[in-house]
Amino acid sequence: MGRRKATVGNDAIEGARPYRVASFFAGIGGFDLGFEMAGVETVWQCEKKSFCLDILAKHWPDVPRTDDITKVVADDIPEAEIWAGGFPCQDVSLARMGPRSGLRGKQSGLFYDFAQLIGARRPEIVILENVAALLSSHDGRDFAIIIRTLADFGYGVAWRVLDSRYFGIPQSRSRVFIVGSLGNPETAGSILFEPECGDRDDEARRPDGTKPVSPFAVRVGNPEQGYVKKLAHCLYAESARHTGTDWSRNYVSYPEGAVRRLTPLETERLQGFPDNWTMPTHEMPNQDTLESARYHACGNAVSVPVAEWLGHRIVAALRAQRAESQTSDLKVTPRSA
């Protein structure tokens, strides 16, 4: 199975082009691939790690990309309705030894560089991804900074913890997804929450900060409302600090007690990627180096089925906005007598 090129769905207006996404902190393209499966075209990528850049170039040879978000000029980013990025989690993760630096850290602090670009260009939809521990970083203050930053730029904001195990892949992987919709607070909520979700306050926050939802009410154990504190039943984590980023330390367990380490191919499948997605185009020093790079690349990726689900939700929301706008334009104001 390979990449599926973005196309406009059958229900789209004839002659319309696909919506476009600019991918920040792109990794090996989890957001990009999932969005393409939903009919969204990747037009630009930003990623620092050389191994991941090689994988991106392998699968998106014609897409322009850069390797340093701190040097990106906002006007150089191609037009895109959607900006997506899973900014680094190292400084907010519970797996970090000692106190968490949070957004003051060198890695997770790259959120501010991303935010500056968002403020300069104001794309229609912004979506961010990170570990669920972001919700509690510095007692929730870091998360509040992110929400307030987007709100100050004029975005309605909604957030939700999604677990990959409920999207057709056999691993428990809870991540918080934050969606901002420019000038339309209801749209963000409609992307992340289905109408039948029920007993939660799922309204998006308005740009002026009204209708707040507590970012700290993450419920444990309910797959619809929070996260489940366990790995998939067939997997064994060597460390209790496992966060799903180091697959080289995960093992498959068998009923009779035997265990073995996951293969790189299995880690790709656990994230929803096609087989051998992370095989580089250049030679690696040795097999151990190659496998380690593949493990870490998969572990840091956005699960493809989750990204695809989000992509479909975003496309539907944007189409609904366009249809509503066209309907408003067609309305004729009655002439006064």
Range name among 147-156, 199-208, 280-289 with the lowest pLDDT average: 199-208
Q: Percent of the chain scored above 70 by pLDDT?
A: 68
Residue 142: per-residue pLDDT: 86
**115-127 pLDDT, tens per residue?**
999 999 999 999 9
Q: For residue 14, is pLDDT > 70?
A: no
**Listed ranges 54-63, 103-112, 195-204; the one with the highest mean pLDDT:** 54-63
- Report CA-CA distances (Å) from 232 to 119, 283, 289: 39, 33, 27
CA 289 to chain centroid:
27
Residue 227: per-residue pLDDT: 33
Q: Percentages helix, strand, coil for the chain, rounded to the nearest 5?
A: 40, 15, 45
| Residue 261's pLDDT band (cuts 50, 70, 90) | confident
Q: For residue 245, is pLDDT > 80?
A: no
* Residues in CB range of 122: below 8 A, 6 or more apart: 153, 154, 182
**Rounded average pLDDT over 193-215:** 50
**Rounded average pLDDT over 19-31:** 98
Residue 54: per-residue pLDDT: 98
More confident site: 110 or 29: 29
**What 3-state class would DSSP assign to 183?**
coil
**What 3-state class would DSSP assign to 145?**
helix
Cα separation, 245 vs 145, whole angstroms: 25
DSSP 205: B
**167-192 pLDDT, tens per residue?**
999 889 999 999 999 988 899 999 99
Residue 178: per-residue pLDDT: 95
| Residues classed as catalytic | 89
Q: For residue 95, is pLDDT > 50?
A: yes
Average predicted confidence (pLDDT) for the chain? 80
**Rounded average pLDDT over 50-57:** 98
**275-319 pLDDT, tens per residue?**
999 999 999 999 999 999 999 999 999 999 999 999 999 999 999
Q: For residue 215, is pLDDT > 60?
A: no
**153-163 pLDDT, tens per residue?**
999 999 999 99
In the chain the domains, ranked by start, together with CATH numbers, are 20-226+303-330 (3.40.50.150), 235-296 (no CATH)
Q: Classify residue 21 as left (phi > 0), alpha (psi -120 to 50) or beta.
A: beta
**What 3-state class would DSSP assign to 59?**
helix
Range name among 5-9, 114-118, 259-263 with the lowest pLDDT average: 5-9
| Residue 93's pLDDT band (cuts 50, 70, 90) | low
